Structure 1
Amino acid sequence: METAAAQTVADEHGVPFLGIRGITDGPGDPLHLPGFPFQFFCYKRIAADNAARVTAAFLQSWGGA
């Protein structure tokens, strides 16, 4: 939802936009962590780190506009 809202604002102002999301929802708990909120904070950190890596790799390989 938040990415779609940012995209809408960018479109309205003619600004290029690329959203990279970190998804934290998934089936089960592969790390078998204790329940909420520990799982949430742990997987949120993993998703944020993964999104940062993808963003950095994209920016390094992007030739610009």
Structure 2
Amino acid sequence: MDRREKLIREMEGLTASDLQEVLDFVRFLKTKSLKKRSETLTFSESSLRKDWLRPEEDEAWQDL
């Protein structure tokens, strides 16, 4: 049995209120994950910007 099946089994019999809490938590986890990815991309861009914004880079990519 995989994790998804285990989770579904564990949720069986929960009250509507508890199911809402589980749903809220799942949405929180998804938002947290998206926020982390977004921050990583932002930090990567700022650290690489100095290499990207050079005349040598522009020249190397001008034929594409």
Give the TM-score, by structure 2 length.
Answer: 0.44
- Higher helix content, 1 or 2: 2
Give the TM-score, by structure 1 length.
Answer: 0.44
Larger radius of gyration: 2
